């Protein structure tokens, strides 16, 4: 077994600390989630408080693909985070990634970033609207954040409620993106820009605010923009519902 390692300059002599975390990963810190991948919040006196993601072992064919033809999810998470920060798009600071390989197969990979102390996620804006007196303002500022990202030629393919962290600082809102391994960097068409909002599962009230704000920022017709978002959102929600029904039918969670 061989390891491919990349650590930021600040901690380049602390490789042993990262390996200690990998060795004891399942017992350290606190579990944030464990689904396809596992994410834990882990504190180290030297490295600070980290978010450490252990990516699930790929299926056999992908073990070869990620080792030879395509970059691993840990690699992409690290370098996509670096690129976002270079464009002043907020995301937790990348610290390191580790890839364990056996011959030409990728067996395991880990991504280390700073832990971001957020107040809530975009999901709370959907499910607990009544908790936010400035709900409209938050959505307007969020839309401005996404507009800035789009204008930086960045398409975040996993722009979903749980991947948007929000922190209130001195009555201003800061947005931070996580789970960055699926991104594209290119000029975005109008359709691609609006389609990018759809995985947010927006309510109609949200669509009205986001659509109106984005139209103003891009000098587009507000009503047409809102209508396109409503239509796209309905198609997405219908497909999502059908997919959930199918999974339930075959007994898959």
Are 221 and 144 in a shared domain? yes
Are 104 and 126 in a shared domain? no
Are 132 and 63 in a shared domain? no
pLDDT at 162: 95
Closest C-alpha to 111, from 40, 23, 27, 17: 40
Are 108 and 146 in a shared domain? no
pLDDT at 42: 98
DSSP code of 10? Answer: G
Q: Could you list the residue range(s) of the whole structural domain that residue 38 is in?
A: 2-114
CB atoms within 10 A of CB 24: 11
Tokens 């396109």 locate to: 228
Angle subtended at Cα 161 by Cα 156 and Cα 166, rounded to the nearest 5 degrees: 90
User: Taken in order 189, 194, 198, 199, is the CA torsion positive or negative?
Assistant: positive
pLDDT at 252: 65
Are 150 and 190 in a shared domain? yes
Instruction: State the DSSP H helix or E strand holding residue 50, giving kind and residue range, or none if neither.
Output: strand 48-55
Domain's final residue, options 55, 88, 114: 114
pLDDT at 253: 58
Q: Is 236 exposed, middle or buried (0-12, 13-18, 19+ CB in 10 A)?
A: middle
User: Taken in order 235, 237, 238, 239, is the CA torsion positive or negative?
Assistant: positive
Per-10-residue mean pLDDT, the chain, length 253 = 94 97 97 93 98 87 75 95 98 97 89 98 96 97 99 98 96 96 97 97 96 98 98 91 75 64
Are 64 and 92 in a shared domain? yes
Are 107 and 147 in a shared domain? no
Using an 8 Å Cβ cutoff, are 194 and 232 in contact? yes
pTM metric for this prediction: 0.92
Are 217 and 125 in a shared domain? yes
Are 16 and 110 in a shared domain? yes
CB atoms within 10 A of CB 251: 6
- Tally of domains within the chain: 2
Are 176 and 218 in a shared domain? yes
């Amino acid at each position: 077994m061989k390891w491919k390692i990349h650590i930021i300059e600040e901690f380049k002599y602390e490789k042993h600390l990262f390996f200690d975390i990998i060795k004891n990963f399942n017992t350290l810190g606190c579990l944030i989630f464990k689904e396809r991948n596992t994410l834990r919040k882990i504190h180290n006196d030297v490295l600070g408080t980290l978010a450490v993601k252990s990516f699930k072992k790929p299926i056999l064919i992908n073990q070869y693909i990620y080792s030879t033809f395509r970059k691993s999810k840990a690699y992409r998470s690290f370098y996509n985070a670096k690129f976002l920060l270079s464009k002043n798009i907020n995301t937790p600071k990348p610290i390191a990634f580790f890839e364990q390989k056996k011959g030409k197969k990728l067996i395991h990979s880990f991504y280390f970033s700073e832990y971001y102390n957020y107040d809530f996620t975009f999901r709370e804006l959907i499910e607990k609207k009544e908790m936010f007196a400035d709900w409209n303002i938050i959505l307007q500022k969020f839309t401005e954040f996404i507009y800035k990202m789009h204008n930086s030629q960045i398409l975040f393919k996993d722009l979903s409620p749980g991947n948007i962290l929000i922190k209130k600082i001195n009555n201003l809102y800061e947005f931070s993106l996580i789970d960055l391994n699926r991104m594209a960097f290119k000029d975005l068409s109008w359709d691609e820009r609006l389609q990018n909002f759809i995985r947010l599962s927006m309510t109609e009230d949200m669509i009205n605010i986001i659509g109106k704000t984005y139209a103003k920022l891009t000098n587009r017709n507000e009503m047409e923009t809102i209508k396109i978002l409503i239509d796209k959102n309905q198609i997405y929600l219908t497909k999502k519902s059908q997919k959930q029904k199918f999974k339930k039918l075959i007994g898959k969670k």
